[in-house]
Amino acid sequence: MIPAAVLDAKPGEKILDLCAAPGGKTTQMGCAMRGEGLIVCNEPVPKRAQILSRNIERMGLPNCIVTCARPEQLAYQWPEGFDAVLVDAPCSGEGMFRRDPNTRMEWSAAKAEGCSERQREILSAAAGLVRPGGRLVYSTCTYNPQENENNARWFTERFREFSIEPFTLPGIEGEQYMFTCYPHRIKGEGQFAVSFRKSGNKAGHLPQDHSVRTASDQEKELFADAFPSLPEATHRIGNTLIFIPELPDLKGIRTYRIGLHLGDIRGRIAIPDHAAALCIGTTGVPSIELSPEQAVMYMGGETIPEDARGWIRLCYRGIAIGWGKGSDGMIKNHYPKALRSSRFLP
């Protein structure tokens, strides 16, 4: 989690996580932003992008867009659009050898060389995405200097508008403003991080999207009447109303998730989305605290014996886990079927 801490995302910023799957760093930065601003998380591999999208849904991030595109495509479409870009690049994975010994068998000098070349390609694209005065954090999970320190020095020589800037975290201070997590320095797996600052001072600009339909006043009113504590819808995709603070131009970019999915409109009926239950705060939301036994039943797909009426947000130890709908002394289960598991049940 060190690279996300080094980038230090702030509420209101425009952030791009360029190699984001499975999403741990995106969610870490998204939580720090408290739903304000925009965070785009990108993964070029479709299967990994699907996993990334599911994790964003689980965390209920309201200001996040999940894309599946090559870095060069994003650099062409969104030049100098972001306050900060994180490049947690694909690497030879030496820092994972202790956790997963099988990865040792996949290592080779040729693979490390290929990783270094690919990392330079990604960094070259990332350079064009950072606004003047913005920052770029580059990280790997390897010890290899060819992929780490050498690439950092190559980047500043190739892109002279960038310079390495210092960072300090509790217990961490990198030599020459770079830091590698060796076992004798810090508990955890191997990681490398370096922070760059782009010269100049200019606000980032992202062209706005006009291809996604905006939500009508009637649709907003219908959903707000049913769920007054949810954010007001900004757009509609199919039957799904969504909320996104800012929507950049997505034309030609494969997109897996846009903003917070509030719920579906089916005729005159509003049905809340799972992600909306996980995002919203406790104020004004009808909620029920589940016992450990009830929480197990709910996550396994069972109905819950409980006196409640209408849509209820179900919580365990104060943490929202999903929606249910109460009627006739029972709460019908609306936990997504894809997330249910019989392993939760006795």
Q: Which residues are catalytic?
A: 141
SS3 per residue for 211-247: CCCECCHHHHHHHHHHCCCCCCCCEEECCEEEECCCC
Strand 82-88 with 14-17, pairing: parallel
Element (H, E) at 310: strand 310-316
The DSSP symbol for 54 reads: H
Bridge partners for 269 per DSSP:
266
Element (H, E) at 271: strand 269-272
Q: Hey, what are 338's tokens?
A: 């894809």
How many other CB atoms are there within 10 angstroms of residue 176's CB atom?
11
Q: What angle do CA 6, 12, 13 make, to 5 degrees?
A: 45
